[in-house]
Structure 1
Amino acid sequence: MSAEIARNRVEAQQLPMPPLLVLDTVQEFLDAHGLGTGPLEISRIGEGQSNVTFRIRRDKADLVLRRGPRPPLPRSTHDMLREARVQQALAGHPVPVPKIRAVCEDENLLGVPFYVMDYMDGDVLTGRLPDEYDNKTTRRKLSAAMVETLQQLHDVDVAEPHIASLGRPEGYLRRQVERFAQLWPMNTRRDIPLVDELSAWLRGNLPETQRHAVIHGDFRMGNLMYTASTRGTAQTPRVEAVLDWEMATLGDPLADLGYLTATYATAGEAGTVLELTSVTRKEGFHTREELVEAYSRGSSLNLEMLPWYQTMALWKAAIFCEAMYTRYLNGERPGDTFAEGLKHGVPELLDQALQYSKQLRSTNPASR
Structure 2
Amino acid sequence: MNSRDGKDLPGLDLDRLAAWLADARPDLLAGPLTARLIAGGRSNLTYEISDGSSAWIVRRPPLGHVLATAHDMSREYRVMTALADTDVPVPATYALCEDPEILGAPFYLMERVVGTPYRTAAELTAVGADRTRTISAGMVDALADLHTVDPADVGLADFGRPSGFLARQVHRWKKQLDASYSRDLPGAHELYDMLAAHQPPQSPDGIVHGDYRLDNVLVDSSDRVVAVIDWEMATLGDPLTDVALLLLYQRLGELGVTGVGDVAFAPGFLTETELLDRYAERSGRDLAHFGFYLGLAAFKLVAILEGIHYRFLQGQTVGSGFESVGAGVEPLLRTGIAALQENNR
TM-score bracket relative to the smaller structure: 0.7 to 0.9
Matching of residue 40 in structure 1 with residue 33 in structure 2: yes
Residue 129 (structure 1) aligns with: 123
Residues 265, 183 of structure 1: CA spacing in aligned structure 2 closer, same or farther, 3 A cutoff?
closer
Residue 326 (structure 1) aligns with: 310
CA distance in 2, matches of 1:295, 1:190: 38
CA distance in 2, matches of 1:155, 1:108: 39
The Cα of 1:159 is off from its aligned counterpart by 2.7
Bigger Cα displacement from structure 2, 71-80 vs 188-197: 71-80
Counting only pairs closer than 5 Å after superposition, residues 126-205 of structure 1 correspond to structure 2 as 126-127=119-120, 128-129=122-123, 134-160=127-153, 162-205=155-198
- Which structure is higher in strand share? 1
The Cα of 1:281 is off from its aligned counterpart by 0.9
Bigger Cα displacement from structure 2, 85-94 vs 75-84: 75-84
The Cα of 1:299 is off from its aligned counterpart by 3.6
Residue 306 (structure 1) aligns with: 290
Matching of residue 56 in structure 1 with residue 49 in structure 2: yes
Asked if the contact 2:218–2:225 (Cα under 8 Å) also holds between the matched residues in 1, the reply is: yes
Residue aligned with 1:298, SS: helix
Bigger Cα displacement from structure 2, 55-64 vs 91-100: 55-64
The Cα of 1:185 is off from its aligned counterpart by 2.1
CA distance in 2, matches of 1:161, 1:142: 27
Residue 231 (structure 2) aligns with: 245
The Cα of 1:7 is off from its aligned counterpart by 4.4
Matching of residue 225 in structure 1 with residue 224 in structure 2: no
The Cα of 1:70 is off from its aligned counterpart by 2.3
The Cα of 1:138 is off from its aligned counterpart by 1.6
Counting only pairs closer than 5 Å after superposition, residues 56-75 of structure 1 correspond to structure 2 as 56-71=49-64
CA distance in 1, matches of 2:60, 2:295: 31
Could you give the per-residue CA deviations for residues 318-347 of structure 1, whole angstroms, max 9, x where no partner exists? 21233333333343323x224333232333
CA distance in 2, matches of 1:353, 1:337: 28
CA distance in 2, matches of 1:58, 1:32: 16
Residues 281, 58 of structure 1: CA spacing in aligned structure 2 closer, same or farther, 3 A cutoff?
same
Residue 20 (structure 1) aligns with: 11
The Cα of 1:252 is off from its aligned counterpart by 1.1
TM-score by length of 1: 0.83
Residue 258 (structure 1) aligns with: 244
Asked if the contact 1:211–1:252 (Cα under 8 Å) also holds between the matched residues in 2, the reply is: yes
Residues 345, 337 of structure 1: CA spacing in aligned structure 2 closer, same or farther, 3 A cutoff?
farther
CA distance in 1, matches of 2:115, 2:331: 34
Matching of residue 359 in structure 1 with residue 342 in structure 2: yes
Could you give the per-residue CA deviations for residues 175-204 of structure 1, whole angstroms, max 9, x where no partner exists? 111112122222344442322221111010
Structure 2: runs of 5+ lacking an equivalent: none
Could you give the per-residue CA deviations for residues 12-46 of structure 1, whole angstroms, max 9, x where no partner exists? 9xxxxxx3323333332333332314332222224
Corresponding residue pairs, total? 342
What is the one-letter code of the residue matched to 1:135?
A: G
Asked if the contact 1:5–1:21 (Cα under 8 Å) also holds between the matched residues in 2, the reply is: no
Counting only pairs closer than 5 Å after superposition, residues 273-312 of structure 1 correspond to structure 2 as 273=257, 276-312=260-296
Residues 74, 26 of structure 1: CA spacing in aligned structure 2 closer, same or farther, 3 A cutoff?
closer
CA distance in 1, matches of 2:230, 2:248: 19
Residue 315 (structure 1) aligns with: 299
Residues 77, 308 of structure 1: CA spacing in aligned structure 2 closer, same or farther, 3 A cutoff?
farther
CA distance in 2, matches of 1:338, 1:134: 27
Q: CA RMSD, aligned part only?
A: 3.0
From 20, 23, 27, the counterpart of 1:29: 20
CA distance in 1, matches of 2:193, 2:160: 26
The Cα of 1:141 is off from its aligned counterpart by 1.1
Asked if the contact 1:77–1:246 (Cα under 8 Å) also holds between the matched residues in 2, the reply is: no
Residue aligned with 1:30, SS: helix
CA distance in 2, matches of 1:77, 1:192: 35
Could you give the per-residue CA deviations for residues 95-148 of structure 1, whole angstroms, max 9, x where no partner exists? 0101111112122333332211111111111124378x7122221111111111
Asked if the contact 1:312–1:353 (Cα under 8 Å) also holds between the matched residues in 2, the reply is: yes
Matching of residue 340 in structure 1 with residue 333 in structure 2: no
Residues 271, 27 of structure 1: CA spacing in aligned structure 2 closer, same or farther, 3 A cutoff?
farther
Identity %: 34
Residue aligned with 2:130, SS: helix
Residue aligned with 2:221, SS: strand
Asked if the contact 2:83–2:154 (Cα under 8 Å) also holds between the matched residues in 1, the reply is: no
